[in-house]
Amino acid sequence: ETGVTQSPTHLIKTRGQQVTLRCSSQSGHNTVSWYQQALGQGPQFIFQYYREEENGRGNFPPRFSGLQFPNYSSELNVNALELDDSALYLCASSPKGLAGTGELFFGEGSRLTVL
Amino acid sequence: GENVEQHPSTLSVQEGDSAVIKCTYSDSASNYFPWYKQELGKGPQLIIDIRSNVGEKKDQRIAVTLNKTAKHFSLHITETQPEDSAVYFCAASKVGGGADGLTFGKGTHLIIQP
């Protein structure tokens, strides 16, 4: 177990709705990254938060947004849901400020289904 | 941006045999190459990583090799065991190059036959 917890584990939404996913990082980790993993694919980088600010973003539209709180926990918000947003959303924490500088500790993910 | 290709998509080997998974990357500025193992219903877990100033790294039954000139790196698992069955992902990124995140391959489903 990595100590990264995500909620909810599963949820179903309809097109056009909004969703908020939550992540508690491992103790001592100040950086949180979010990844989208479509079925049968590798994870895709959405964005990273460090010290409560977004400091890196992948190729995702602005309707994907996030927050990081003073206790380093994080939220991923997706507005105007589309069918293609159906995926496993993974949160990863790390103790360093830059993505890719070391090991990422992943949670078990939130499985989102958009109908 | 970076593009990572991974082969094969499925690999079936007999228990005790070796398994090799290969990846290529496109961005010559990438200098960090981790491998993650994902079991069913779990998040990916780092099993080994290598940086561009090293050509090979070994940890017990697992080894990774890197050829920066050819832009490819490989995962080698020897003496495979049933618990090695999982999906394996290679990834690439630039250390110190900003928060671009990891670029993952599409994964290899490794099946260990008893």
- Express each pLDDT in A38-60 by its tens digit: 999 999 999 999 889 998 899 99
Is residue A66 less than 8 Å (CB to CB) from chain B?
A: no
Of A43, A103, A107, the CB nearest to B104: A43
Residue B53 corresponds to which tokens in the numbers above? 């100033």
- Percent of chain B scoring above 90 in pLDDT: 87
For residue B8, the model assigns a pLDDT of 98
DSSP string, chain A: --S-EEE-SEEEE-TT--EEEEEEPPTT--EEEEEEE-TTS--EEEEEEETTEEEEE-S--TTEEEEE-TTS-EEEEE-S--GGG-EEEEEEEESSSSTTSS--EE---EEEEE-
Residue A56 to residue A24: CA distance in whole angstroms: 19
CB nearest B43 (choices: A99, A100, A108)? A108
Tell me whether the omega of the peptide bond preceding residue B8 falls within 30 degrees of 0, making it cis: yes
Interface check A39 vs B, CB under 8 A: no
Q: What percent of chain B has pLDDT over 70?
A: 96
pLDDT score of B94: 84
For residues B44 and A102, the answer to whether their CB atoms sit within 8 Å is no
Q: Are B23 and B72 in contact (CB under 8 A)?
A: yes
The pair of structure tokens assigned to B67 is 């050829």
- Positive or negative torsion for Cα A97, A6, B75, B106: negative
The model's pLDDT over A104-115, given as tens digits with 9 standing for 90+, comes to 899 999 999 999
Strand B108-113 and strand B10-14: pairing? parallel
Q: What is the pLDDT of residues A56-99, one digit of tens each?
A: 899 999 999 999 999 999 999 999 999 999 999 999 998 865 44
Average pLDDT over residues B92-111: 85
Q: Nearest by CB to B101, which of A33, A40, A50?
A: A33
Q: Give the tokens for residue A107.
A: 């949670």
A89 neighbors A34 (Cβ within 8 angstroms): yes
- Residue A11 near residue A115, CB atoms below 8 Å: no
- Report pLDDT for A111: 98
Q: Is A100 a residue whose pLDDT tops 60?
A: no
Residue range B3-42, pLDDT digits in tens: 999 999 999 999 999 999 999 999 999 999 999 999 999 9
Instruction: Check residue A102 and give its pLDDT.
Output: 75
Cross-chain Cβ contact B98/A33 below 8 Å: no
Q: Could you tell me whether strands B19-25 and B72-77 are parallel, antiparallel, or unpaired per DSSP bridges?
A: antiparallel
Helix (H, G, I), strand (E, B) or coil at B113: strand
C-alpha separations of B26 from A57, A102, B45, B68 in Å: 19, 20, 24, 11
Per the model's pLDDT, the better-predicted residue between B101 and B78 turns out to be B78
